[in-house]
Amino acid sequence: MGHFYSHSSLKLLDDCESCFYKKIVHGIDRPSYPTASITYGIDDRVADLFEKHRSAGTRPPHLAPINADLWPADDALAQARKGIRWKGNLGNTLYGRLDQIVLRLGKAEALDLKTRKGAPNEKQVQEYHARYTTQLNVYNYLLEKIGLAVGDSAHLLVLWPTEATDTSLAYETQLITIPTSRKYMNKLLTRAVELAGGPEPKPSPDCDWCSDRRAAVRAYRRAQQEEKAKPLKEPAPSQTECQTTPSPPSDESSKKSTSKSSPPEPSAPSSGSLFPQLDL
């Protein structure tokens, strides 16, 4: 039985092999954080702008620094936007959903949109390289699997707001180009498949998620032990048990009671009684 891989799960290989194994084999993912929906709205509006350029056959100014054009509206672009699923010989599936494809030097290259608060500095650009190298390699690899001639790089289009008016929000962009290669992907996928098919790795001592998971397990087990160590409570007596049962009278008291006058026999109800005579 094969496993399902994406760029986010493959990125875990560099972060923590134990977290990677739990996600791929056991389906236990790290906790996720909510994402502001405005970033999706910005991505959609930029995509609309690109569509206008694609329909007009013009180049968006965002792509001028890399001398690239938008990929034409064909089946490959539609498939990339919907999500590419490639199944290998061992039954494993690799999945990726692209924002855009650009045509550069006659070859297809992935383009992904990223939104941030302000312009990235040099250190932050290097962090983008480290954070998104796996993602862009996966995207270019999948483009090749659907039959496209793929270049040796992919790109991030980073957007940030600069000025707001009563009716609009201005922004600036920066393109970050990241090298990609088939060799990188072959090595990455081989490592992933071998790890997922082997014994479960030990939790990493440097992984915060593994540390939190161990702390949660210890707290749970400690709570169980404390619960078992509590003394058992006596069950509360029921209402019937609270009522005292009178002891049977002794022979002497019985004799005394019989010597007293017996209670009068109940008289038959009169016609004006609360219980009138019934015809039986």
Domains and CATH numbers, the chain: 4-214 (3.90.320)
Q: Model's pTM, two decimal places?
A: 0.78
SS3 category, 75: helix
Distance CA 115, CA 76 (A): 25
Q: Which residues contact 118 (CB under 8 A, 6 or more apart)?
A: 160
Long-range contact list for 122-126, CB < 8 A, 24+ apart? 125/176
Contact 152, 144 (CB under 8 A): no
Yes or no: say if 210 and 217 are a contact pair by the CB < 8 Å rule. no
- 69-70 and 100-104 strand pairing: antiparallel
Per-residue confidence band for 276, with pLDDT thresholds at 50, 70 and 90? very low
Contact 138/13 with Cβ under 8 angstroms?
Answer: no
Tell whether the model's pLDDT for residue 78 goes beyond 50. Answer: yes
pLDDT for 84 = 98
Q: Are 181 and 152 in contact (CB under 8 A)?
A: yes
27: pLDDT confidence band, cut at 50, 70 and 90? very high
Predicted confidence (pLDDT) at residue 116 exceeds the cutoff of 90: yes
Range name among 6-10, 40-44, 213-217 with the lowest pLDDT average = 213-217
What is residue 54's three-state secondary structure? helix
pLDDT value, residue 275? 38
